[in-house]
Amino acid sequence: MLDLIPALRGRGALRVLCVGAHCDDIEIGCGATLLALQERAGRVQIDWAILSGSEQRQRESRGAMTSLIGPKARGNIRFGNFQDGRLPAQYREVKEFFESLKALARPDLILCHEREDRHQDHRIVNEMVWNSFRDHLVFEYEIPKWDGGLGQPNVYVPVTAAQAQKKVRALLRAYRTQSNRDWFTAETFMAMLRLRGIECRAPSGLAEAFYGRKLRISRF
């Protein structure tokens, strides 16, 4: 397997933009990867963009970001304030949000929802990312849900046990509003990490997985 970090690191500070339809999506999809990037990539700046969420959920997101992203790497967090579950019906406004985001962000790496995700909000976020950021490296993360939809990712980020556990703690401590959901458990999140760790033979047995639609190889 090829290691991508050296190529990214050669460009100075690594700028990462994480995009989620809802508060908690980013942490579920790539929380451990963000911890790994901070340890492996040297200088890094991580920005978040979240399209929906009540004031309480937004406070939870800020708390989770503080837990996962160190002060030196912590960038901006921006909320779209769109209606949860109705992003396709707000297409024009969502497009304007992404246009404004494009004007502010110059990321080296974008982490967003997977294209075939069965949640309508997740799919529209993916579409907008690809429409707005046409010359960027995009990795699409996965979210477990009751209606399934998990596929066969092709990009893996091995993580340590400590990183995996820190991700899970951040989710469970920050998102008290989700504690009544039967899938929002440490067992769910660790099971995903373990499954993807098996698939890529991660040294710790744990990994997060993504979909890479386009990769350009400039040199070997």
pLDDT 10s digits, 208-217: 999 999 988 8
Q: By the 8 A CB rule, do 82 and 50 touch?
A: no
Contact residues for 28 (Cβ-Cβ < 8 A; gap 6+): 141, 143, 144, 171, 189
- Token output for 164: 């995996």
pLDDT by residue (tens digit) across 73-131?
A: 999 999 998 999 999 999 999 999 999 998 877 899 999 999 999 999 999 999 999 99
* CATH number for domain 5-212, candidates 3.40.50.300, 3.55.40.20, 3.40.50.10320, 3.30.2350.10: 3.40.50.10320
- Is 91 within 8 Å of 51 (Cβ atoms)? no
Residues 6+ positions from 54 with CB-CB distance below 8 Å: none
Q: What are the pLDDT digits (tens) for 196-211?
A: 999 999 999 999 999 9
DSSP annotation of 151: -
Q: In the 8-state DSSP scheme, what is residue 125?
A: H
Residue 217 confidence (pLDDT)? 80
Cα–Cα distance between 93 and 100 in angstroms, integer?
A: 11
